[in-house]
Homo-oligomer: A and B are copies of this chain.
């Protein structure tokens, strides 16, 4: 996010209303408006930016939130299973899990029947934290819903996004 005050070049006084040589008007951006990937990226960045802002004081990142959600719905699963479901490489998943464990939100118990694997479980604090996060996220989704113009639009968008997977 750019917080800089992007100052426009100061325009010279132009009382006559004539066109100035250095007048800089808006750029033509039609070529990008037809690119699905570009629009997808802009929208995703916008939504993620809001997420980061909303969850800044909770110090929760999008990936971490999805990890907590998935463990809550699938307690006892191995790291690789959760990571695969989220499209995260298990090597990178280690750091994620360790960070959440360091904050006391999850445990890595010994998996029954496989001494290599860690069975992931939320702790009590993890469940409480997730509940708070869910509430916050609910508000955010509500905002997005109103931006989209209603539940019909939202579910339509989700359906269309699914077809791109």
Instruction: Give the residues from 134 to 164 in chain A that come closer than 8 angstroms, CB to CB, to chain B.
Output: 137, 141, 144, 147-149, 153-154, 156-158, 160-164
- Known contacts: A24-B81, A147-B164. The answer to whether A5 contacts B87 by CB under 8 A is no
Partner of A141, one of B5, B30, B35: B35
Does A74 interact with chain B (Cβ within 8 Å)? Answer: yes
Set B6, B40, B69, B162: member contacting A47, Cβ < 8 A = B40
Please report the C-alpha to C-alpha distance between residue A101 and residue B41 in the assembled complex, in whole angstroms: 25
CB distance from A150 to the nearest CB of B (A): 11
Are B46 and A44 within 8 A (Cβ)? Answer: no
Whole-angstrom distance from the CB of A75 to the nearest CB of chain B? 4
Q: Given A24-B81, A27-B70, A48-B37, answer yes or no on A147-B127 (Cβ-Cβ < 8 Å).
A: no
Chain A interface helix/strand/loop/mixed: helix
Count the copies.
2
Q: Are A42 and B1 in contact (CB under 8 A)?
A: no
Shortest Cβ distance from A158 into B: residue: B39
A side interface size, CB within 8 A: 76
Tell me whether B36 and A144 are in contact (CB under 8 A).
yes
Between-chain CB contacts (< 8 Å), 27 pairs: A1-B124, A2-B87, A3-B127, A5-B75, A5-B121, A6-B76, A7-B75, A7-B76, A8-B112, A21-B112, A22-B113, A22-B114, A27-B73, A27-B74, A29-B73, A35-B141, A36-B157, A36-B158, A37-B51, A39-B158, A42-B87, A42-B161, A43-B44, A44-B44, A153-B163, A157-B160, A157-B161
